[in-house]
Amino acid sequence: MRARRDPEERFWPKVEKTAACWNWIAGKNYEGYGIFWDGERYVTAHRFAHSIAAGKIPEKMQVDHTCHNRGCVNPTHLRLATPKQNMENPSGVRSDNRSGYRGVSWNKAYRAWTGLVTHYGVDHWLGPFASSEEANVAVVAKRNELFTHNILDRKSA
């Protein structure tokens, strides 16, 4: 009978290290996250990589990609976050967004750009504004006031 290889020993050959991210090159789920058999069950590859580097992941905690690459397993690009903190760090605008800015939209009634930030289920309406750029400045400022883990906004501030 053949001895089973250590999960960590099987894990790293499935990673392509680049200057930016360490990309998972094996199987992925429908959301684009790497999947890995740890010897007992399938786990997401980024959670497995984080647990190798930092130990057991506390219950109810998520592993957030600071690089916004779902296939990345570089432990320096991963951090523990609550679900709320993880939601505060999206990668950018939605595909149906027409303003080019997250939280900014054209309001027909006001015939102006408006901003909206939702925090703990409460909508914070901002606007109206003469331009989408002005609305975006207000939205970013509000998110930086309310959110703690919005990396993209803090880089642009």
Which residue in the block uniquely carries the two structure tokens 């400022």?
141
Percent of the chain with pLDDT over 70: 96
pLDDT at 12 over 70: yes
Structure-block tokens of residue 65: 């990609």
What confidence score (pLDDT) does residue 20 get?
Answer: 92
User: Would the pLDDT of 37 be above 90?
Assistant: yes
Residue 50 has pLDDT above 70, yes or no: yes
Q: Tell me what pLDDT residue 3 has.
A: 61
pLDDT of residue 148: 81
Q: Read off the pLDDT of each residue in 137-154 and give the average, rounded to a whole number.
A: 87
Residue 157 has pLDDT above 80, yes or no: no
Q: For 80-138, what is each residue's pLDDT tens digit?
A: 999 988 888 887 787 778 898 999 999 999 999 999 999 888 999 998 999 999 999 99
- Dump the DSSP string for the chain: -PPPPPHHHHHGGGEEE-SS-EEE-S-B-TTS-BEEE-SSSEEEHHHHHHHHHH-PPPTT-EEEETT--TTB--GGGEEEE-HHHHHT---S--TT-SSSSTTEEEETTTTEEEEEEEETTEEEEEEEESSHHHHHHHHHHHHHHH-S--HHHHHH-
CB-based contact 24:73 (threshold 8 Å): yes
Give the rounded percent of residues in the chain with a pLDDT score beyond 90.
Answer: 73
Average pLDDT over all residues of the chain: 91
pLDDT digits (tens, 9 = 90+) for 54-71: 999 999 999 999 998 999
